[in-house]
Chain A
Amino acid sequence: MTVMTMIQALNDALDVMLERDPDVLIFGEDVGYFGGVFRVTDKLQEKHGIDRCFDAPIAESGIIATAIGMGAEGLRPVVEIQFADYILPAYDQLVSEAARLRYRSNGEFSAPITVRAPYGGGIFGGQTHSQSPEAIFAHITGLKTVIPSNPYDAKGLLIASIECPDPVIFLEPKRLYNGPFDGHHDRKLQGWAGQSEAEVPDGHYTVPLGKAATVREGSAVTVLCYGTMVHVAGVAIDEAGVDADLIDLRCIVPLDIDTIVASVQKTGRCVIVHEASRYGGFGGELSALVTERCFYYLKAPTQRVAGWDTPYPHAFEWDYFPGPARVVDALKRVMEH
């Protein structure tokens, strides 16, 4: 057991898998000698060799295409897209090829690739270093989408993703890389040291894809969230003084529907929180599922707290970001019913 940041935990997961499985290899922009702009692949090239962890041309579509070809042959490539905002040139490869290859070839070929991408805001990254594009992957049948919220989960989920026979989009909340973040941007920064989820077991372990974590239990309202918002929702529940079930989805595909339904049927209220803009966001799907499956248990209209329907703005980061105050408001609104 070692106390790690999320970066160290992800690096450790990759190190474990490079050691364990000769079919695993890593490539992406700046991930080789330099070790990645966020240091997630630090020292992996030095330790495992240049053909196990290497730099790629600045060509996201080419990176994913190459990975699919490798995966179809039988390797387990793990590629890094430097920021999730840069993944769009590769969207055609992910949608038309990675997601469909198994289906259209009747299982003759598949794309067991893991696509890591730092995502989300809270770092003053402006439009092109802050977006949360999870909904556009959740909509694509054939892709899995995983979003960890702490170092322990990050390592276990990443190993599970690499071992998964399906293509996985692995979105890393970069605001959580070096410490938990509850949305109070004006307060002193916190590191991962001293947090129980930062205690990371040595060696190989997995956190299964498709199993949500109930971070805290309560009886009055269910809060559904993932990534950075798990921490924001946690502090907001305290500040609102409500008795909430806080559910960290961990994966939006596959989704742990049983945990969601059981919780909402218990509490009768649901608040959904995500950083991505609201309209067409994954919160809409969650809200629909809750309505379809828990309608007669609901005491209040489900609330969504999300980024506004604008591009991600630079100077207005904290006006855009769905921080604790907005989550508190939503919790209070559902509790009025």
Chain B
Amino acid sequence: MTLPRNARFRIPEPGGRPGDTPHFGDIDIPAGGEVARPHASSAEQDIRDLPFTLIRTLGDDGAAHGQWDPKLRPDILRIMLRDMQLNRIFDDRMFTLQRQGKTSFYMKSRGEEALGVVPALVLGQQDMCFPTYRLVGWLIARGYPLIDLVNQIFSNKQDPLKGRQLPVLYSARDYGFYSISGNLGNRLGHAVGWAMAKAYRAKDDIAIGYIGEGTSAEGDFHEALTFASVYKAPVILCVTNNQWAISSFSGIAGAQETTFAAKAIGYGLPGLRVDGNDVLAVWAATEWAAQRARAGLGATLIEFFTYRAAGHSTSDDPGKYRPSDEADHWPLGDPIERLQNHLTLLGEWDEAQHEAMLEGLTKRVRSAIKEGEAIGTLGESKPSVKEMFEHVFAEPDWRVLEQRNELGV
């Protein structure tokens, strides 16, 4: 029997637009602990169910469940809580400062704080992170000085990147944090190359690279996965699926057809789909993939399923394209609140401790900003204009020297 002729193309639309009741489609959410954890040495063909489920440990009861529970000591949990909270307080403050005209641009990580903070704690000091711009949590967890973040955001004379980069496009080699660029996706392949370089030197250091679900549509994603697979590179490649790429929902990147984790199957790589708002699941998945990489079993693709609770950037108004209360309806909750509940349930945290922590972190952020403001906000202070001509090449050629002279610096 032939099929009826009915060729039409489709433009995917999200569950809700402004004014609608938020709706995320039919998200199948397993209970915490429901998904079994295969041994890290499992063959890829034996674990092809994982990309279609969702690895979770924290249940609605606030307790950790199942085989993916990394069984962390309470002091580690408190560190994660502190660093995620610091990330959020810092973001909120910097966003306000942008609105006050003290810098040109800012991007918040709200709702995704676990994805920077947790892998930074799981992985080693010699491992390298190839971040996107919503992973400042990595730097915070690694102890990068807040004042250096502030100075970079203000592009002032103490800016570690000498005024050359848009705010939040940090670089911090000593903290295992590769240079970010505003072109998305380009650096996923660098993570593969870096990991291959470590393996070439017979070291067991690895790389972790991030890309957004929107940018996974770029060829860079396909090529990075191909190279990672072909050469069995010791790398963890992560898709942070936060549902929104500026105003385009994840369906515009193919989410209605399959999961982003399932893209791994086409490359013969293990794919994990993980509740990105569950710090324990993020920890366990990162550790699982890191073990494989260090053991010479190659790359893993992890989809961190999360939600971008803030606008894309200070230039964005999400109320123009999604229901204004959509974040409140996100079924996987908030990573900070969930960890706080878990710690409280364990009897390792209480409201008074939380209040004291918030107060201390707020003070730290205020103090760093004050210090940065004393040096100067955007336009009040900037590095020497000579810096514009530095690092174009290892040694400047005559053009750079002549043009510096022409400008009189």
Which residues of A are interface residues toward B (Cβ below 8 A)?
Answer: 25, 51, 56-57, 59, 61-62, 65-75, 77, 89, 92-93, 96-97, 100-110, 141-142, 144, 164-166, 210, 253-255, 257
Indicate if the CB atoms of A66 and B186 lie closer than 8 Å: no
Indicate if the CB atoms of B392 and A106 lie closer than 8 Å: no
Q: Select from chain A the residue with minimum beta-carbon distance to B195.
A: A69
Indicate if the CB atoms of B193 and A68 lie closer than 8 Å: yes
- CA separation between A3 and B172, bound complex, in Å? 49
Determine if B223 is an interface residue (Cβ-Cβ < 8 Å). Answer: yes
Question: Which of B190, B200, B226 is the one whose CB lies under 8 Å from A51?
Answer: B200
Indicate if the CB atoms of A104 and B164 lie closer than 8 Å: yes
Question: Which of B179, B192, B195 is the one whose CB lies under 8 Å from A108?
Answer: B179
Which secondary structure dominates where chain A touches chain B?
A: mixed
How distant is B142 from chain A, measured CB to nearest CB, in Å?
Answer: 15
Instruction: Give 13 A-B pairs besides A62-B226, A93-B189 with Cβ atoms closer than 8 angstroms.
Output: A25-B200, A62-B223, A62-B224, A65-B187, A68-B189, A68-B193, A69-B190, A73-B193, A104-B165, A104-B179, A105-B161, A105-B179, A106-B161
Indicate if the CB atoms of B197 and A74 lie closer than 8 Å: yes
Q: Which of chain B's residues 152-211 have a Cβ closer than 8 Å to chain A? A: 160-162, 164-165, 169, 171-173, 178-179, 181, 183, 186-198, 200, 207
- List the B side residues contacting A166 at CB < 8 Å: 393-394
- CA separation between A177 and B180, bound complex, in Å? 40
How distant is A260 from chain B, measured CB to nearest CB, in Å?
Answer: 11
- List the A side residues contacting B195 at CB < 8 Å: 69
How distant is B335 from chain A, measured CB to nearest CB, in Å?
Answer: 29
User: How does the 8 Å CB contact mask read for B360-387 relative to A, with 1 for contact and 0 for none?
Assistant: 0000000000000000000000000000
Indicate if the CB atoms of B171 and A109 lie closer than 8 Å: yes
Question: Which of A57, A71, A74, A93 is the one whose CB lies under 8 Å from B186?
Answer: A93
- CA separation between A262 and B227, bound complex, in Å? 49
Indicate if the CB atoms of B198 and A73 lie closer than 8 Å: yes
Determine if B397 is an interface residue (Cβ-Cβ < 8 Å). Answer: yes
Question: Which of A57, A75, A164 is the one whose CB lies under 8 Å from B200?
Answer: A75
- CA separation between A254 and B391, bound complex, in Å? 15
- List the A side residues contacting B197 at CB < 8 Å: 69-70, 73-75
Indicate if the CB atoms of A257 and B189 lie closer than 8 Å: no
Indicate if the CB atoms of B226 and A109 lie closer than 8 Å: no
Question: Which of A57, A75, A96 is the one whose CB lies under 8 Å from B183?
Answer: A96
A97 and B223 in contact, given A75-B197, A104-B169 (Cβ under 8 angstroms): no
Q: Select from chain A the residue with minimum beta-carbon distance to B186.
A: A97
The 6 residue pairs across chains A and B that have the minimum distance between CB atoms: A69-B193, A65-B189, A62-B223, A69-B190, A73-B197, A66-B193
- List the B side residues contacting A73 at CB < 8 Å: 128, 193-194, 197-198
How distant is B145 from chain A, measured CB to nearest CB, in Å?
Answer: 15
Determine if B91 is an interface residue (Cβ-Cβ < 8 Å). Answer: no
Determine if B287 is an interface residue (Cβ-Cβ < 8 Å). Answer: no
- List the A side residues contacting B173 at CB < 8 Å: 105, 108-109
- CA separation between A100 and B162, bound complex, in Å? 14
- CA separation between A325 and B232, bound complex, in Å? 54
Indicate if the CB atoms of A97 and B181 lie closer than 8 Å: yes
- CA separation between A107 and B390, bound complex, in Å? 9
Determine if B220 is an interface residue (Cβ-Cβ < 8 Å). Answer: yes
- List the B side residues contacting A106 at CB < 8 Å: 160-162, 164, 171, 390-391
Indicate if the CB atoms of A72 and B181 lie closer than 8 Å: no
How distant is A26 from chain B, measured CB to nearest CB, in Å?
Answer: 12
Question: Which of B164, B187, B191, B200 is the one whose CB lies under 8 Å from A103?
Answer: B164
Q: Select from chain B the residue with minimum beta-carbon distance to A112.
A: B394
Q: Select from chain A the residue with minimum beta-carbon distance to B394.
A: A165
- List the B side residues contacting A100 at CB < 8 Å: 181
- CA separation between A103 and B161, bound complex, in Å? 9
How distant is A223 from chain B, measured CB to nearest CB, in Å?
Answer: 22
How distant is B259 from chain A, measured CB to nearest CB, in Å?
Answer: 23
Indicate if the CB atoms of A65 and B190 lie closer than 8 Å: yes
How distant is A329 from chain B, measured CB to nearest CB, in Å?
Answer: 32
Determine if B124 is an interface residue (Cβ-Cβ < 8 Å). Answer: no
How distant is B312 from chain A, measured CB to nearest CB, in Å?
Answer: 20
Determine if B230 is an interface residue (Cβ-Cβ < 8 Å). Answer: yes
How distant is A275 from chain B, measured CB to nearest CB, in Å?
Answer: 24
How distant is B382 from chain A, measured CB to nearest CB, in Å?
Answer: 14
Determine if B9 is an interface residue (Cβ-Cβ < 8 Å). Answer: no
Indicate if the CB atoms of A97 and B226 lie closer than 8 Å: no
- CA separation between A32 and B5, bound complex, in Å? 49
- CA separation between A96 and B161, bound complex, in Å? 17
Determine if B12 is an interface residue (Cβ-Cβ < 8 Å). Answer: no
25 inter-chain pairs at a CB distance below 8 angstroms, sorted by A residue, are A57-B230, A59-B223, A61-B219, A62-B189, A62-B223, A62-B227, A65-B186, A65-B190, A65-B220, A68-B190, A69-B196, A72-B190, A96-B186, A97-B181, A102-B391, A103-B391, A106-B161, A106-B164, A107-B391, A108-B171, A108-B179, A110-B394, A165-B394, A166-B394, A255-B398
How distant is B90 from chain A, measured CB to nearest CB, in Å?
Answer: 22
- List the A side residues contacting B196 at CB < 8 Å: 66, 69-70
User: How does the 8 Å CB contact mask read for B19-53 relative to A, with 1 for contact and 0 for none?
Assistant: 00000000000000000000000000000000000
How distant is B159 from chain A, measured CB to nearest CB, in Å?
Answer: 9
Q: Select from chain A the residue with minimum beta-carbon distance to B389.
A: A103
- CA separation between A73 and B219, bound complex, in Å? 23
- List the A side residues contacting B183 at CB < 8 Å: 92, 96-97
Indicate if the CB atoms of A105 and B171 lie closer than 8 Å: yes
- CA separation between A97 and B187, bound complex, in Å? 8
Indicate if the CB atoms of A104 and B397 lie closer than 8 Å: no
- List the A side residues contacting B193 at CB < 8 Å: 65-73, 77
Indicate if the CB atoms of B164 and A69 lie closer than 8 Å: no
Question: Which of B190, B207, B227, B398 is the one whose CB lies under 8 Å from A57?
Answer: B227
Indicate if the CB atoms of B186 and A92 lie closer than 8 Å: yes
How distant is B234 from chain A, measured CB to nearest CB, in Å?
Answer: 12
Indicate if the CB atoms of A254 and B190 lie closer than 8 Å: no
